[in-house]
Amino acid sequence: MSMKRLGIMAALPQELGDLIAQMNAAGGVRTVTLGQREYYIGDAHGLPVAVTLARIGKVAAAATASTLIHVFDADAIVFTGVAGGVRADVQVGDIVVADALMQHDLDASPLFPRYEVPLLDRARFDADRALSDALAAAADAFIAEESAVLAERFAVAQPRVHRGMIVSGDRFIASHDALFGLRDALPDALAVEMEGAAIAQVCYEHGVPCAVVRTISDSADAAAPLSFTEFLTSIAATYSSGILSRFLRTVR
């Protein structure tokens, strides 16, 4: 695919800090402060990009995606970050590339079916196939090339790349009851986070392709707060920068 500028988003500094630092070190970066966010406008691996931290939650993500599209002329958006594993075989250290996204906490029934976005007649939003394929290939390459480092430094053994549905909601899932409730209600869900489906909806409404890649930081259970914090501080940057750098070298 051909794009004029790629928007790159994450929720937290650990998930994009390396890319922003690399862009600043290379020079030629313009920093714009808008809506209490900083947008870094420049090139990454020869590709024009607008990079920003959305902060946490669906509203924050939707507002940031809209700004990328309308102010910074992003004609495609990629979101990277961490997530909780939902399906039993999705383990900490695995990577999930979204094929589709939906909000697990949206319920306007009985006026509209549960999960359906009112007036859009849909609950699921598809990720762009070309972008998602490129992200999955980058994730596969990262694991193949860095598996020994992941095992030695971070005790992550045999991570896998999954493709499927990611669900989003304004709630940090951190109990067995909440996890099993998600599994029962949405058996196709591989991972849960707090931004992706909102970005996918904004991009759908504006005809902008988007893709979401998530590294699994926790199992969305009672141990999730500790696992999430440890993963975020110790290894999240290694995953995000490793996947993004390989992705940016190949996508155009």
Q: Please choose, from the candidates 208, 188, 78, the residue with its C-alpha nearest in 3D space to the C-alpha of residue 136.
A: 78
Across the strands, what pairs with 100? 126, 165
Catalytic position from the list 94, 128, 195, 218: 218
Count the neighbouring beta carbons within 10 Å of the beta carbon of residue 230: 15
38 is an active site residue: no
Question: Closest Cα to residue 165, out of 242, 102, 118, 213?
Answer: 102
Match 């009112």 to its residue by tokens: 118
List alpha helices for the chain, DSSP H.
13-26, 58-70, 129-154, 176-185, 196-206, 224-234, 236-250
Of the candidates 15, 94, 128, 195, the residue annotated as catalytic is: 15
Catalytic residue flag (residue 218): yes
Rounded Cα distance between 217 and 221, Å, is: 11
Alpha-carbon radius of gyration of the chain: 17
User: Which residues are designated catalytic?
Assistant: 15, 218
